[in-house]
Structure formats: structure tokens, C-alpha cells
Amino acid sequence: DTEVTQTPKHLVMGMTNKKSLKCEQHMGHRAMYWYKQKAKKPPELMFVYSYEKLSINESVPSRFSPECPNSSLLNLHLHALQPEDSALYLCASSQVMQLEKLFFGSGTQLSVL
Amino acid sequence: GIQVEQSPPDLILQEGANSTLRCNFSDSVNNLQWFHQNPWGQLINLFYIPSGTKQNGRLSATTVATERYSLLYISSSQTTDSGVYFCAVTTTMEYGNKLVFGAGTILRVKS
């Protein structure tokens, strides 16, 4: 099973809402990532978890809050987002932090109204 | 930091044609990966290729690490090959490894 599963596929939220994005992998990977991608741009790294501990936070605003409940799950909690946060949010995983083959989920298309 | 440049930025092919995409990087890297993002946003890892040549069906990739470039060959292109092709390299930072993406090549295959 070489799949990273993300839910929901689409999300529309207001600026006062709280929502969560979920990601799951069963490949035994110990590194999991959140990326943000704007249209026609490459993915931008947001967070990296290695062995369930936050290893990298790329200066992401606190309205984005990651969580890694266990080695298979990764969440991204959203609160008080801005319209400019509308983007495709991608989860990924790899065996070792940023050194091994990276597998992406299909993403959550987020619209903030 | 390391720079990753992809060329061409855009490419239009007639179905059945062959093409070569290039990725240049400015410093030594630990590995290199090629990805295809389809029009629905799904990013598929095509190759993990720090050096040498690999083939997968109609696609093949070659990385010459000493000369800091990689090539992705698409033969007998099909409309399903359309999308964006990204190369990404891993470089070592103070806090560990970091994956750096190029800007991508947008490919459109016409039937």
C-alpha cells in the first residue's frame, strides 16, 4: 500500500470557523509533512514531523496548528484563516525526513471566504 | 540557498511526440526526485534518482550529479501525460535535510 489519504478533498470555511484537515498513511513512514500549494506554483513546505515530533516549522502563522497523534496520522487544525490562505494543502510522507522518496496525498482544496 | 531551475517552463506536444525536460541545480545534492502533478492536483512520484539512469515504461530519467543536472524523457506522449512536472532536490541545512522544488514545467499534450 503506497497511499497517503487526505480528507476532506474540498473545504470551504469562513474566517471565524475552526476546521481540521486529516492525513493518514500505512507505509510505516516515520516522517510526515504538510505543504501548501498555490495555483501554478510548486509546493511550499509548512511543517515536518519526524518520529511524531515536530522537526520543522517554516515560520507558519499560528492560525495553522499541526498535530501528529501517532505515526500514521497527521492533522492540520485551522482557525481564523484569511482569504489568502486559500490553496491546495498537501500531506506527504517518507521513510526518513526529506531524504527518501516522498509520497503525496491527493490534497485538500481549501477556500476561505 | 540552493537554486533549482527547470526548463522549459511550458511545453505543448502533439500526441505521440517525444520530449526532454531539464532540471539544473546550483549545488551538490543528496538526492533528486521527479514528480508529475495531474490536472486534479495529485502529485505522483515518478523517479527517485540521485544519480544514474532509470526507466519506467515510456518515462526515463538521468541524473548527472557531478554536472548538477537531471533530465526526464517522455516518449510517445499521451494526453494523460499533461500536467506539471516538478523536480525536487534534497540539500543539507543547519537543521537537517530540506527538499527544494523547482518551479515546474507545464506540459500539455494535444490529441
Taking contacts as CB-CB distances below 8 angstroms, the residues of chain B near A55 are 95-96
Q: Are A74 and A23 a contacting pair, CB within 8 Å?
A: yes
**Nearest-angstrom CA–CA distance, A4 and A73:** 10
Nearest to A102 among B96, B98, B99 (CB): B99
Backbone CA torsion sign across B19, B45, A54, A68: positive
A21-to-A8, A77, B19, B101, B110 alpha-carbon distances in Å: 7, 6, 37, 23, 36
A39 interface with B at CB cutoff 8 Å: no
Interface of B with A (CB under 8 A): 30-31, 33, 35, 40-45, 48, 84, 86, 88, 90, 95-99, 101-104, 106
**How far is residue A102's CA from residue A67's CA, in Å, rounded to a whole number?**
20
The pLDDT assigned to A100 comes to: 78
CB atoms within 10 A of CB A34: 24
Which of helix, strand or coil describes residue A71?
coil
- As a residue count, chain B comes to 111
Spatial neighbors of A79 by CB under 8 A, at least 6 apart, are: A17, A18, A63, A65
Using the Cβ of A40 and the Cβ atoms of chain B, whether some distance falls under 8 Å is answered with yes
- Nearest beta carbon to residue B33 from set A56, A90, A101: A101
Q: How far apart are CA A102 and CA B99, in angstroms?
A: 10
pLDDT 10s digit of each residue in chain B, 111 long?
Answer: 889 999 999 999 999 999 999 999 999 888 999 999 999 899 999 999 999 999 999 999 999 999 999 999 999 999 999 999 999 998 877 777 788 999 999 999 999
Query: How far apart, in Å, are the Cα atoms of A59 and each of A26, A47, A104, B73, B79?
Result: 28, 9, 22, 36, 39
Cβ <8 Å between A45 and B98: yes
**pLDDT computed for residue B33 by the predictor:** 95
Give pLDDT tens digits for A72-96: 999 999 999 999 999 999 999 998 7
CA distance A14 to chain B (A): 23
Cα gap B87→B72, rounded to integer Å:
9
**pLDDT, tens digit (0-9, with 9 covering 90-100), for A5-43:** 999 999 999 988 999 999 999 999 999 999 999 998 999
Closest-CA distance of chain B to residue A42, Å:
6
The length of chain A in residues reads 113
What sign for the dihedral angle of Cα B85, A88, B98, A105? Answer: negative
